[in-house]
Amino acid sequence: MLHGRRREDQRSRVLPEGRRVLRRLTPHLLRPTVLTRGLFSPLSITGDKLIVAVANPWSPLPDEYLAPRFPDLEIVKIVTLASEIARAIESVATNSGPSRSELEAIDVEDNDEGIRDFDVTTDYTEPMAQLIATVMADAVKTRASDIHFKVEKESFYYAFRVDGDIGNKVEIPMKLKDRLDAFLLNLMKLPTEIRATAPGISGRFTISYFHRPIDIRYERHRTYRGYHVTMRLLDKSNINVTLGKGTLAFDEETLFELSKVMKVPAGIIVMSGPTGSGKSTTLNAILRELNRPDVNILTLENPVEDEVPGITHCDLRSAKEFKPMIASFMRSDPDIILMGEVRDIESAELAIEAAVTGHKVLTTIHTPRASQIIERFEQLGVERWKIAQTLKAACAQRLVKLLCPYCKEACDGISDHDRRTFNLDDSWATIPVFSAKSGGCAECRNSGYSGRTAILEIIPITPKTSDMLSKGEISPYDLEIKIQEEGKLPNLRRSGLRLLREGKTDIEAVSKVIDMTYTDE
């Protein structure tokens, strides 16, 4: 208990006091990247003393860096946890990226040896390695989901996607485009010659951020002026995969219906939605709920995003491995199978075969609406009666941006224009709502939003509904309308409006992920 109390005391000192001092001193005197690499942070200025939190009391860097900047102050060090110092620095660090002098100093003729486990919190003498390390460390700090590198006619830049939106572009000298491209390929042990022979290149590597492994999924395609690289960051330490908490803080109605879906003994449960809507995260949360010692759970993913103790995770390295892996799964005495995604007729039929033989199958598919899941299977070549007999729940998910609680602004209802555009009744003219502040604040990194939350739509396929769908007595769309009219099950539009009414989001964020321009209710 004493150890835990001491840790809380350290946190209470480092975070609030240090954050205030850092905001006053950064970026005019102190660079967050230097503080991060050296793991030290000013706490307070008391009289003629500068109190500094350090993780390594023997490191000379705090004295060497701070003494010239505060010549009249005595530097007094206190030792605390590295994680607390990093958290304090991250809370005030701006996504400024590498400086212009650092970029210009990179020699395009330099050569280096790439490594698969790339530490982005260390110092590199090779300038290109330091550039990539700085960019990736910034991406992790801002909790970006993707990094984009783009070559256009007269510019080369990178940008982060945070909370679903691509942020500001950071220009990079055009002379570095080929060297940077080669460095990233080298990280994955791929030959640079592949750039001229392959229109699209897929790969992966791992970075280390304060000894925390983060998987990077790499995708590159050739463009008219050069190339476009997209890197998806899979930071497992920031994945909250507990139903009812964090990103998956569903309302009681949704949680109840999800619990009913999880009780289904056999059949297919499909989660649909666009890329980046959190489908895999929700399925992993469901797996955690279903994970028990008496249940054998196997997953086939590309890549594995969340490793759960007690579950056998298999990494799909190429499309050719899919069929033999599923065939092997069926002979491995499984109770529950997670298939990362249904992409073609082969994967669709294998999912149906697994469900028919008494297994519970969880998978994802790309469709805008839950009711379109059956139609998507038909487009892939599966007969309707087959999917109707095995599908037990069709779900659709979206991630809605949440307003920053520190700077959101109150509004007197929804404007007449927006009510007409988004089919809202006149009661919304007087319902108090909130909107994002233009320019945001320091707490939300000037975006006006802070984080996202998932909303879910569930269409259960009962035996009666299955029979009607098989015989063509009802269409999937008719089923969706019928369920909406009953108003008992989670619905994307209704959930989005609930968040709006509760002041957690605004109409702009809701309409960005849900088509609000029509209503069938």
Same-domain pairing of 362 and 386: yes
pLDDT, position 10: 42
For residue 467, tell me if it sits in a domain: yes
Same-domain pairing of 66 and 25: yes
pLDDT 10s digits, 16-63: 555 555 556 555 567 777 787 788 888 888 888 888 888 888 888 888
Same-domain pairing of 291 and 325: yes
Domain boundary residue among 187, 219, 237?
A: 237
Same-domain pairing of 245 and 394: yes
For residue 442, tell me if it sits in a domain: no
Q: Is the pLDDT of residue 7 over 60?
A: no
Same-domain pairing of 343 and 371: yes
Same-domain pairing of 283 and 251: yes
pLDDT, position 521: 52
Q: Nearest to residue 411, comparing CAs of 431, 429, 434?
A: 434
CATH label of the domain that carries residue 29: 3.30.300.160
- In whole angstroms, give the CA distance from residue 312 to residue 230: 29
Weakest mean pLDDT among 233-242, 373-382, 439-448: 233-242
Q: Which domain holds residue 40?
A: 2-92
Mean pLDDT of the chain: 83
Domain boundary residue among 92, 124, 155?
A: 92
- In whole angstroms, give the CA distance from residue 416 to residue 428: 9
Q: Is the pLDDT of residue 402 over 50?
A: yes
Task: Output 428 or 445, whichever has higher pLDDT.
Answer: 428
For residue 222, tell me if it sits in a domain: yes
pLDDT, position 237: 61
pLDDT 10s digits, 215-228: 898 999 988 888 99
pTM above 0.85, yes or no: no
pLDDT, position 99: 65
pLDDT, position 243: 75
Average pLDDT over residues 247-253: 79
**SS3 state at 364:** strand
Band (150; pLDDT cuts 50, 70, 90): very high
Same-domain pairing of 220 and 284: no
For residue 49, tell me if it sits in a domain: yes
Weakest mean pLDDT among 11-15, 100-104, 293-297, 385-389: 11-15
Same-domain pairing of 115 and 213: yes
For residue 161, tell me if it sits in a domain: yes
What separation in angstroms does the CA of 180 have from each of 161, 176, 203, 226, 390? Answer: 20, 6, 16, 12, 48
Q: Nearest to residue 229, comparing CAs of 135, 101, 364, 100?
A: 135
Q: Is the pLDDT of residue 372 over 80?
A: yes
Peptide bond into 303 cis (omega under 30): yes
Angle at CA of residue 482, ends 478 and 485, nearest 5° = 140
> pLDDT exceeding 90 applies to what percent of the chain?
23
Buried (b) or exposed (e) across 169-191, using 16+ Cβ within 10 A?
A: ebebeeebbebbbbbbbbbeebe
State which amino acid sits at residue 113: E
Q: Is the pLDDT of residue 1 over 90?
A: no
Q: Is the pLDDT of residue 392 over 50?
A: yes
CATH label of the domain that carries residue 310: 3.40.50.300
Domain boundary residue among 39, 60, 92?
A: 92
DSSP assigned state of 457: E
Same-domain pairing of 358 and 248: yes
For the residues of 331-347, what is the DSSP string, one character each?
Answer: TS--SEEEES---SHHH
Average pLDDT over residues 1-18: 44
> pLDDT exceeding 70 applies to what percent of the chain?
87
Q: Is the pLDDT of residue 435 over 60?
A: yes
For residue 14, tell me if it sits in a domain: yes
pLDDT, position 325: 82
For residue 203, tell me if it sits in a domain: yes
pLDDT, position 11: 41
Same-domain pairing of 190 and 259: no
- In whole angstroms, give the CA distance from residue 151 to residue 157: 7
pLDDT, position 84: 79
pLDDT 10s digits, 152-208: 988 999 999 988 888 889 999 999 999 999 999 998 888 888 888 888 888 888 898
For residue 465, tell me if it sits in a domain: yes
Task: Output 317 or 209, whichever has higher pLDDT.
Answer: 209
Band (340; pLDDT cuts 50, 70, 90): confident
Q: Is the pLDDT of residue 94 over 60?
A: no
Same-domain pairing of 285 and 230: no
pLDDT, position 41: 85
CATH label of the domain that carries residue 228: 3.30.450.90
| Structural domain total, the chain | 3
Same-domain pairing of 489 and 396: yes
